[in-house]
Chains A and B, each alone.
Chain A
């Protein structure tokens, strides 16, 4: 932190330097951490597949980038019913003659969408609640933390089921249901971190100079707790994806967006689980790999946030 502090420009520089340091630390942490590297590679692969799953048309250039999925995932009878894997259909076909491989590739998009949106929103809400709660303390803290306690009393998946059943099975409602519960852990952990920062000299000096509450919270304290928020975002992606998959498996998925969980739901309702291993295993393995990749990355980020862990390895 610079000594002649607190002109907006120096603060801005400090902020940039802080973020740069954090990103550098992050990459250093990934060096020599095999699991973290594997996680990054798997995640990057999924992101690539997700983006290029279906054909992309860029209108003003008048070009179409062909999609990765060889068939239309919803087109029936592109092959025979329940065909085992072949060259034409690398992962076989479903009971309606749909191409499993294409469905798997198209499902990546739904997973990325739910994972990133739900995690971002949950961590955004959680960080703000934790920050406000710890910074103001007193009754604000009491009220916000009691609300957090109450959300902790709500069983995650059953709540999501009820909410989605009442509001309707759409991807937006699924994300809302996940976010409404998922913010709680971020709120608690950010709060405790901010509590310790509140006592530090840099906050006191900012107060003495007469910086506003909003300024102190978002310009001075927030950059210091942001790494922790990143960590919780990584885990939140994993939980959100598992929740979406479970909801879809139970039949509450968005019928217009085929996800991996819904693929397995379809196997179940078609009563094909005994025969069609090529239809059940790919989506299950995909879910597991995706969530593993973000958990591996999370573990590596944990070492940036909590340097003590580095010596324990």
Chain B
């Protein structure tokens, strides 16, 4: 099977996965509670209002009609109206989505930057105290739920040292609006971003660190490293140019899994730091029975994970010519 066929097959798989995910959403949000109308009906409605609302939402239609209708709505980005804000869900969620992407993107970037460097050094100095200590620190970070890391950082840097604001995304009364840079580039914003992003970076760092260390150990056993050392190249060159570069490949495959973890992490981290992102919005929506918003948030999170899985697979075959397309 050639590369082209592989990509086409993978694309078909992507479509199937999306369809299955849509169906899962439909089942979760419309079928599971005994009465599917209950979640769309607010308490204290008169029977007439109830009837009207049910008809409005198309909930009096047979299930398969609802299903088709539902899928076409999702495909056109129509998530309905929020029960609480009384606004189209899409308008609420898009801003929150951007905020989440900025936060989690920053966290993942630093997690991988630090993780890869740290892991490479741990592999390079194997058996040393540095490596032993590094493993314990990494495992401790991986064993901590995001909210716990966040609380420790809050206690130290906010309550004790008072260096950072305790939460939110910008100081109230600060400049709002403007372009992308004005929104996400101001020092005020960066001060608010620092702690939540650091929380994510600490938690997500463990996977790339341990994986990088393991693959480094494999690569360092390979003959070509001995040859490079015998050629008399400086250690740093062998480490960075030859050993580390060849160890990065397996990391690509876990990037997708990391995105999934980041989506879950966003829910917790945003709650701890009052970050106005999609994760916190989802918790709020679920707690206040605002199901259209909850569903849209869940839909976006799943979509990001599915697409990252797809991209990781493509990147892998592109980066490693030896891979067989199966």
Contacts and interface: CB of A to CB of B under 8 A. Distances in A.
B126 A312 contact: yes
A264 B139 contact: no
A7 B261 CA distance: 48
Interface size class of B (residues with CB under 8 A): 35 or more
Contacts of A292: 139-140, 143
A48 interface: no
Interface string A113-154: 000000000000000000000000000000000100110111
Contacts of B126: 312-313
Interface string A256-279: 000001001000000001100100
Interface in A5-45: 35
Interface stretch (B42-50, B109-117, B263-271): B263-271
A287 B148 contact: yes
A150 B21 contact: yes
Q: How large is the interface on A (under 10, 10 to 19, 20 to 34, 35 or more residues)?
A: 35 or more
Interface string B39-59: 000000000000000000000
Given A250-B283, A288-B144, A296-B139, A157 B28 contact: no
Interface in B1-60: 13, 16-17, 20-21, 24, 28-29, 32-33
B151 A280 contact: yes
B143 A156 contact: no
A295 B140 CA distance: 9
A284 B151 contact: yes
A103 interface: no
Nearest to A290: B143
A261 B24 CA distance: 28
Given A156-B260, A277-B155, A313-B127, A288 B143 contact: yes
Contacts of B247: none
Contact of B154 (A35, A273, A289): A273
Given A150-B20, A284-B152, A251 B287 contact: yes
A158 B298 contact: yes
A149 B21 contact: no
Contacts of B286: 161-162, 165, 252
Given A166-B28, A291-B144, A292-B140, 10 more contacts: A155-B298, A155-B302, A158-B302, A161-B286, A242-B143, A246-B267, A249-B147, A287-B143, A292-B143, A313-B126
27 contacts: A146-B16, A154-B305, A155-B260, A155-B263, A155-B264, A155-B298, A155-B302, A158-B267, A158-B282, A161-B267, A162-B298, A166-B33, A246-B268, A249-B271, A250-B267, A252-B286, A264-B147, A277-B155, A287-B144, A288-B140, A288-B143, A288-B144, A289-B143, A291-B144, A295-B139, A295-B142, A299-B139
